[in-house]
Amino acid sequence: MTSGVYADSFKIGETIFVAYPSGNIKDDAFIVGQVEAINEKGDYQISVIEFVEGHDYGLSCVPMIKKQSKHSTTSEYGSSWELWKDTTTLEKENLDYLVSQKEVMKLGVGKHLFIERNNLYIVFGRWKSDAPMLTIDRLGRAEKEAAENQMQGMLPALALVKLHRSSFYGEYGRPMMSFESIEPLNTLLSAVLETFSQDPALKTTWQARKRDWPKISADMRSYFLIEAIDKIVADATHQQYVQGVEKAGEKALNTLKYQLSQLKRSEQ
């Protein structure tokens, strides 16, 4: 996510959106708060109105005892941390929080952006679950929405998702016959192999016996590509054995088998 949406400055009393986007989207977190003070660096001390529970805010927020709090006479920095023992939950009664100006945006902009991020995550999830009403047109709109909402990291995966969907559904959403899917699946697997050829590090990460999911989840491009390629390889592998697939012809099936042999993980 680029810094363009964070370019505004805010005044005391304004309600703001503090954004903590995650590469995998599902772990996105945010705070809606009111500006109580601004320090010399331009960072904001805020009172909390709303937040996503479960995110470790201790990595990015500094607790500040409220002036009107019953603990206000104990205003030392350490006492604030003592009050804030669970950093996955924000305290509203006694604590404000100091947040970096680089993570703050207008309330409306932030809410819209995070809604769009969630919508795209839902579209991707519908594809993974083989939702029958998910059309190629909707996936095309998803690509446009990703570009418009600074989520370009999803675009390589969405390109593969469109090829996958075209391998199993034809015009007007007609399910393809098993043998009809083989040629487009070969095109799809070629695209996966080309992706790995251009990005050997991604291939190594995908093939690893044990994946470092926290690290993968921090990078949108890697996370969604790995999730997409997992499904693509599993579905193409299964399609070899579907009744009637032999009508695709020996050459097409051999190509499919060969490409799948190039897409083996270490644990397989």
- pLDDT reported for residue 77: 53
**Confidence check: pLDDT of 94 > 60:** yes
Task: Determine the average pLDDT of the residues in 17-33.
Answer: 97
* Residue-range domains of the chain with CATH: 3-108 (2.30.30), 130-261 (no CATH)
Strands (E), 39-154: 44-51, 61-65, 95-99, 104-106
- pLDDT reported for residue 2: 45
Beta pairing, strands 29-38 & 104-106: unpaired
**Confidence check: pLDDT of 4 > 70:** no
Entry pTM: 0.90
3-state secondary structure of 76: coil
Q: Which residues on adjacent β-strands are paired with residue 266?
A: none
For the stretch 41-83, pLDDT in tens is 999 999 999 999 999 999 999 999 997 665 555 544 568 988 9
**Confidence check: pLDDT of 116 > 60:** yes
Rounded to the nearest angstrom, the gap between the alpha carbon of residue 57 and the centroid of all alpha carbons in its chain is 19
Task: Determine the average pLDDT of the residues in 241-264.
Answer: 96
